[in-house]
Amino acid sequence: MSEPTRLLDSGSDLERSLLRSALSDAPSEASRQAAAAALGIGAPGPGTPSPSGAAVTKAGISAFAKWAVVAALGGVMAGGAFHFALLRADPAPEATAPAVHPSAPSRVEQSAPVTAPPITRTQPPSAIPAPEVRAPRAPPSQPPRPPEPERRHQAPLEQPIAGEAPAAGAPAAAPDTSTLAEEIALLDSVRVALARKDAEAASASLAEYAARFPSGVLAPEAEALKIEVELEGGRRVAAERLAEEFFRRHPRSPLAARLRALLERAPK
Amino acid sequence: MGGVIRELFEAHYDFVWRSARRLGVPAEAVDDAAQEVFLIASRKLPQILPGKERAFLFGVTARIASDARRAGSRRPEVREDDAPPSAIDHAEDPAPRPDEVAERQRARAQLDEVIGSLEPDLRSVFVLFELEGMTMSEIASVLELPQGTVASRLRRARELFQEKVRRILTRDGLAGVP
């Protein structure tokens, strides 16, 4: 089958002009490094020393965990349609067959929210714990959330999490991935309870989180969920007080805008 | 996941980033979209068949781009010069003239409009052939389609592209475009 001539060579002036405008598309080095950090693989690239496979940085894990929880929260908070939708994105192209192994998990399994750190080829798919209930997809009419600067742009220089005191000059130890998975799972149970409008169960899960992970990597996300729980329980004053504290401690959190919207909508 | 995902990342990040942008992800959201592709891939590594990595990644990218396009249509417009700079913004002419910048931005916006008007099936084939420079055989492999289907989609995509460009020419009066 002969190849047609590309429009870049044979098109009209305007066609070529338009197509040429996209030839320079390329990611910046900062983009590459931020993505690598979020994946926990450091900053690859020519001339850049790569960390060992086991040396997943705290920034990388923290960024990924935050991404996962923020995405999960987005499902409940109904405003984070974009990133949550991405999490649930089916890997199959829109019009092509999926390039997956025939024994791949079912569609339901594939679309479950992240509840554990990324897995390796050596792990069977069953090693991924899946939550019992999946948060509903946000309606398409919801506005998308703005980009999450804390997740991407700050990944290489992750700020200390509340309650943590990173040692100066020494790389912080990466949190145990199983512990991280437990944190995520516990907060996910809060989210699920909130989706059921069960403030009591959500509060119990949050109390368990606070007891087990007093300096958890996902403490800010737990704080945000606590505010939701208070609102769900009809305790607006308490929610406002916690929110004020949250905004002061995490002024750039991607959750802040959502919390403000929730507070505005809550009965006075 | 370090080794495998690192290899995947190093081999395909630029391709994924370019594809996301060209399939319609707004400039200011491309970094996030490309990152999302690899986060999803990292979760699904066991499902990716050897030799099908690029097909898998492009499939996810196309899906994410589709979602981003829908989200973008409901989002306040972000000016091109608000977007984070891509590598080429630094690598090219360090000080392009304002009129050159404006012209490039206008051309790019028009290209996004035209490509965005294509159906997703046609859009993928068009982008891979005209911009990524793939052969039809390569496209057939990436999209896991018969070559005949690729050829027919490309033919249709080009017809629509040319038709849309003619409309732009009429609408915007760009007869003098170089």
DSSP label at residue A132: S
> Do residues A104 and A222 touch, judged by C-beta distance below 8 A?
no
Query: What does the pLDDT look like over B32-48, one tens digit per residue?
Result: 999 999 989 988 888 88
Q: What are phi and psi of A100, to 5 degrees?
A: -120, 160
Mean pLDDT of chain B: 83
Nearest to B169 among A1, A14, A45 (CB): A14
* pLDDT (average), residues A201-214: 88
What pLDDT does residue A65 have?
Answer: 47
Of residues B4 and B12, the one with the higher pLDDT is B12
Task: Identify the band that residue A6 occupies on the pLDDT scale cut at 50, 70 and 90.
Answer: very high
Domain at B1-92: CATH code: 1.10.1740
Q: Is the pLDDT of residue B94 over 80?
A: no
DSSP label at residue B56: H
User: What is the ipTM score, two decimals?
Assistant: 0.82
* pLDDT (average), residues B50-68: 91
Name the maximum alpha-carbon separation found in chain B: 53
Give DSSP secondary structure letters for B133-167: ---HHHHHHHHT--HHHHHHHHHHHHHHHHHHHHH
* Distance between start and end Cα atoms, chain B: 49
Rounded CA separation B118/B159 (Å): 10
Amino acid identity for residue A134 in this structure: R
Token pair, residue A46, equals 């020519």
The percent of residues above 70 in pLDDT, for chain B, comes to 81
> Do residues B164 and A18 touch, judged by C-beta distance below 8 A?
no
Residues 98-157 in A contacting B (C-alpha not used; CB under 8 Å) = 98-101, 104-105, 110, 114, 117-121, 123-125, 128, 140-141, 143-144, 147-148, 152
| Cα dihedral across residues A132, A207, A255, A43: positive or negative | negative
A118 contacts in chain B (CB < 8 Å): 1, 5, 39, 42-43, 45
Distance from CA of B88 to the nearest CA of A (A): 6
Query: What does the pLDDT look like over A147-203, one tens digit per residue?
Result: 333 334 333 333 333 333 333 333 344 445 567 777 778 888 888 888 888 888 888
Rounded CA separation B84/A41 (Å): 23
Q: Is the pLDDT of residue B85 over 90?
A: no
Token pair, residue B27, equals 């400039």
The percent of residues above 90 in pLDDT, for chain A, comes to 7
Rounded CA separation A255/A44 (Å): 30
Look at residue B76 and give its three-state secondary structure.
coil
> Do residues B58 and A93 touch, judged by C-beta distance below 8 A?
yes
Cα dihedral angle (A104, A107, A110, A111), rounded to 10 degrees? Answer: 170
Alpha-carbon Rg for chain A, nearest whole angstrom, is 21
Query: What does the pLDDT look like over A47-71, one tens digit per residue?
Result: 343 333 333 333 344 444 444 444 4
Q: What are phi and psi of A47, to 5 degrees?
A: 80, 0
Q: Which of A41, A64, A69, A115 to mutate to test the interface with B (most CBs of B within 10 A)?
A: A41
**Count of CB atoms situated within 10 Å of the CB of A34:** 24
Q: How many H helices and E strands in chain A?
A: 11, 0
Task: Identify the band that residue B152 occupies on the pLDDT scale cut at 50, 70 and 90.
Answer: very high
What pLDDT does residue B46 have?
Answer: 82
Of residues A111 and A25, the one with the higher pLDDT is A25
How many C-alpha atoms does A86 have within 13 Å on its Cβ side? 30
CB contact under 8 A, A31 and B84: yes
Rounded CA separation A167/A189 (Å): 32
| Cα dihedral across residues B25, B29, B33, B34: positive or negative | positive
CB contact under 8 A, A144 and B74: yes
Distance from CA of A92 to the nearest CA of B (A): 5
What pLDDT does residue B153 have?
Answer: 97
Domain at B96-173: CATH code: 1.10.10.10
**Count of CB atoms situated within 10 Å of the CB of A252:** 11
Of residues A95 and B96, the one with the higher pLDDT is B96
Amino acid identity for residue A242 in this structure: L
Domain boundaries for CATH 1.10.10.10 within chain B: 96-173
The percent of residues above 70 in pLDDT, for chain A, comes to 47
Q: What are phi and psi of B48, to 5 degrees?
A: -85, 120
Domain boundaries for CATH 1.10.1740 within chain B: 1-92
What pLDDT does residue A69 have?
Answer: 46
Amino acid identity for residue A15 in this structure: E
What pLDDT does residue A42 have?
Answer: 67
> Do residues A118 and B1 touch, judged by C-beta distance below 8 A?
yes
What pLDDT does residue B174 have?
Answer: 56
